[in-house]
């Protein structure tokens, strides 16, 4: 069976992967514009003029809870940053007019973004130690006040985190974590002939049921 064709879309503001058929980002709420989606997904975004950056990886054969996934997007982000690289007043729309409680989530988002030097260092680290390619995307400023940090909202089903900074060979001077959602990736199954099939847009239980029915018919 041939792999299903999947349209991979990413938010221009926070870099989150967008659900198929959605016109808004589930992470930050920003509207998705087709041209910028294409630029980001191909990694051809012009980085000139940006002060903050997002970094993501698209990984194949990612093993999670004993299941292999293709086209899995990992969003990388900085943790435990004490001071923002860009002042909040410049990075967040109408920042000084926001009540204190409304400032927390956009502040967290800004502190989780990378400088260009950090993004390039992370990209090199991932390539050399984890054998993972990374794409650097410029973050348009100022961001809207309703944007959230990656740990500010309850994660949707299928979401988990990678504690990259806990790796034995971690050498970056800043701490990085990754977030991914297996529900937005392609799940592989092993057929009777030991071939790998990529399954997209259908339930793995349905596929396993079909395989069982085929066995019973033999």
Beta bridge partners of 179: 75, 161
Share of the chain above pLDDT 90, in %: 58
Q: Which pLDDT value is given to residue 9? A: 58
Per-residue pLDDT for 111 more than 80? yes
Q: Which pLDDT belongs to residue 196?
A: 47
Dist. CA 107–CA 176, nearest whole Å? 17
For the cut 90, the answer to whether the pLDDT of residue 63 exceeds it is yes
The pair of structure tokens assigned to 212 is 């069982």
- pLDDT tops 50 at residue 3: no
Q: What SS3 class is residue 77? A: strand
Phi first, then psi: what are they for 90, rounded to 5°?
Answer: -90, -25
Residue 182 pLDDT more than 60? yes
**Dihedrals phi, psi of 180, to nearest 5 degrees:** -145, 160
> Residue 217: its pLDDT value, please?
58
Q: Comparing 31 with 75, which gets the higher pLDDT? A: 75
pLDDT at 30 over 70: no
CA–CA–CA angle 18, 22, 28 (5° rounding): 55
- The whole-number pLDDT of residue 155 equals 87
Q: Which residue has the higher pLDDT, 193 or 84?
A: 84
- State the DSSP string of 179-201: EEEGGGSEEEEE-TTS-EEEE-S
pLDDT in tens, 139-168: 999 999 999 999 998 888 899 999 999 999
Section 118-143 average pLDDT: 95
Distances (CA, A) of 214 to 17, 63, 72, 200: 35, 27, 30, 20
Instruction: Round to whole Å and give the CA distance between 22 and 181.
Output: 16
Q: How many other C-beta atoms are found inside a 10 Å radius of the C-beta of residue 101?
A: 7
């Amino acid at each position: 069976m041939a792999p299903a064709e999947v349209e991979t879309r990413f938010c221009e503001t926070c870099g989150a992967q967008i659900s198929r058929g959605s016109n808004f980002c589930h992470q930050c709420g920003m509207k998705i514009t087709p041209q910028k989606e294409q630029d980001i997904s191909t990694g051809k975004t012009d980085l000139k003029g940006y002060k903050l950056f997002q970094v993501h990886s698209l990984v194949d054969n990612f093993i999670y809870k004993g299941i292999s996934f293709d086209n899995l997007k990992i969003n990388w982000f900085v943790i435990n940053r004490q001071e923002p690289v860009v002042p909040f007043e410049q990075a967040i729309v109408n920042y000084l007019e926001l009540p204190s409680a409304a400032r927390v989530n956009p502040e967290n988002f800004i502190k989780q973004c990378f400088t260009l030097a950090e993004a390039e260092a992370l990209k090199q680290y991932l390539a050399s130690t984890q054998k993972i390619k990374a794409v650097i995307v410029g973050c348009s400023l100022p961001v809207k006040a309703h944007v959230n940090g990656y740990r500010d909202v309850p994660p949707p089903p299928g979401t988990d985190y990678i504690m990259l900074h806990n790796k034995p060979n971690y050498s970056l001077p800043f701490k990085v974590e990754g977030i991914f959602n297996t529900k937005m990736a392609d799940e592989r199954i092993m057929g009777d002939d030991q071939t790998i099939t990529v399954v997209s847009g259908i339930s793995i239980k349905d596929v396993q049921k079909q395989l069982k029915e085929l066995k019973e018919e033999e």
